[in-house]
Amino acid sequence: MAVVKATSEDIDLLARLLRAEAEGEGEPGMLLVGNVGINRVRANCSDFENIRTIRQMVYQPHAFEAVIHGYFYQRPRERERRLARRVVGGEYRWPARFSLWYFRPPADCPPTWYNQPLVGRYKLHCFYEPTAEECEAVYRVF
């Protein structure tokens, strides 16, 4: 069962985002990016209030560098579509299980990002999640 509504166009958008943001980190890295995206749709807190769809999440201004810089605008491939469907279906992985932010620093992960604590790192990306008090919805079980 899907954790957010997703049309085939939404799956294609998410697939393009996964590839553009984390292709170099393999399937696990792309799944983590997808987790963060789906969390943003579900969260309704912080910078993600009123982000209710995959399209809104992907095109939120300044949210993803790949959308801004163009690599995102390649056609989706079936590999990334399968990953996008898995994420929409509720597959989560640590350290992105409850994360709303990730980024790729030039060195070590800072202990906080947008005032959120570091949860962990996967290859080159650092992941950050809000506290339950700050964003209860992201911690709800499906």
pLDDT by residue for the chain (142 residues), tens digit each?
Answer: 689 999 999 999 999 999 999 999 999 999 999 999 999 999 999 899 999 999 999 999 989 988 887 778 888 999 999 999 999 999 999 999 999 999 999 999 999 998 899 999 999 999 999 998 889 988 886 6
pLDDT of residue 142: 60
From 103, 136, 134, 117, select the one nearest 25 (Cα to Cα).
Answer: 103
Contact status, residue 140 vs residue 3, Cβ threshold 8 Å = no
pLDDT digits (tens, 9 = 90+) for 1-13: 689 999 999 999 9
CATH at residue 102: 1.10.10.2520
For residue 121, being part of any structural domain is answered with yes
For residue 35, being part of any structural domain is answered with yes
For residue 57, being part of any structural domain is answered with yes
For residue 39, being part of any structural domain is answered with yes
Q: Report CA-CA distances (Å) from 20 to 1, 49, 68, 118, 141.
A: 26, 24, 11, 23, 29
pLDDT digits (tens, 9 = 90+) for 99-123: 999 999 999 999 999 889 999 999 9
For residue 3, being part of any structural domain is answered with no
pLDDT of residue 51: 96
Boundaries of domain holding 55: 8-139
pTM: 0.94
For residue 44, being part of any structural domain is answered with yes
For residue 2, being part of any structural domain is answered with no
For residue 69, being part of any structural domain is answered with yes
The number of distinct structural domains making up the chain is 1
User: Tokens 């987790």 identify what position?
Assistant: 35
